Amino acid sequence: MTKIQGFGLGLRVEHYAAFEAGVDAAVRPDWLEIISENYMVPGGPPLAHLERIRADYPLVMHGVSLSVAGPAPLDLGYLRELKALADRLQPGWVSDHLCWSADAHSQLHDLLPVPLTRAALDHVGARIAQVQDILGRPLVLENVSSYVRFKADEMPEWEFIAQLLQQTGAKMLLDVNNIYVSGRNHGFDPRAYLDGIPVEPVRQIHLAGHEDRGDIVIDTHDHPVRDEVWQLYQYALMRFGAVPTMIERDDHIPSLPELLDELGVARRLAAEALR
Q: How far is CA 275 from the centre of its chain?
A: 26
Quote the domain boundaries for residue 179: 7-274
Contacts of 272 (CB under 8 A, 6+ apart): 234
Residue 214 confidence (pLDDT): 87
Residue 130 confidence (pLDDT): 98
In this prediction, residue 100 has a pLDDT band, given cuts at 50, 70 and 90, of: confident
In total, how many domains does the chain have? 1
- 10-41: b or e for each residue (b if 16 or more CB lie within 10 Å)? bbbeebbeebeeebeeeebbbbbbbbbbebbe
Contacts of 52 (CB under 8 A, 6+ apart): 20
pLDDT (tens digit, 9 = 90+) per residue, 230-257?
999 999 999 999 999 999 999 999 999 9
What is the largest distance, in Å, between two alpha-carbon atoms of the chain? 53
Residue 106 confidence (pLDDT): 56
Is 159 contained in some domain? Answer: yes
Is 2 contained in some domain? Answer: no
Is 1 contained in some domain? Answer: no
C-beta pairs of 152-157 under 8 Å, 24+ apart in sequence: 152/115, 152/117, 153/115, 153/116, 153/117, 154/116, 154/117, 154/118, 155/116, 155/117, 156/116, 156/188, 156/192, 156/193, 156/196, 157/116, 157/182, 157/193
* R_g of the chain computed on alpha carbons: 18
Q: Return the CATH number at 138.
A: 3.20.20.150
Is 255 contained in some domain? Answer: yes
Average pLDDT over residues 76-103: 93
pTM for this entry: 0.95
Is 47 contained in some domain? Answer: yes
Q: CB of 242 within 8 A of CB of 266?
A: no
